[in-house]
Amino acid sequence: MRRIYYRYPQRVDLSFAMGMTFPETLQYVAELNGQESTKTTGKELVRVKVKVEIAVNRADFGDITPDLLRPGVVTESADLKMSVLALALRGSGKVPVANDVFYVRLTDRNTCTDIDIAKEVPGEGIDALDVKNILLGKTE
């Protein structure tokens, strides 16, 4: 069964192929939920938090449960919502740098998975390439 969001943006910011099958990619992206990492940008230390949700009833997003990750439950396509919060760690405390929402569509292509990324509201902050790097596990 496909898990799609009917308001998925018509314009995508970035498309690429992940070299894993659809179930493996869905499992991998689901494991990113709650992940925190730190990276250095310029002279600042930045903490990045990721939250991942899956389309429910074509109109909302909800948590990814273990039941959804069983083989054959989600097939063909899945729309995910990734919320990425970036906080600069400064002497005075944590300062929000970005709080962006991205829509990520996973599409089954047998031996690989196509991934489309669209930012909810264009503007400053994190962009689709940063989300691709998060998905690929790359840190700067």
Burial class of 105 by CB neighbour count within 10 A (0 to 12, 13 to 18, 19+): buried
In which residue are the tokens 């990814």 written?
A: 64
pLDDT given for residue 137 in this prediction: 82
Residues of the chain falling short of pLDDT 70: 139-140
Mean pLDDT, all residues of the chain: 88
In the chain, domain spans: 14-136
Beta bridge partners of 69: none
pLDDT for res 50: 93
Q: How many helices (H) and strands (E) does the chain have?
A: 2, 7
> Which pTM was predicted?
0.87
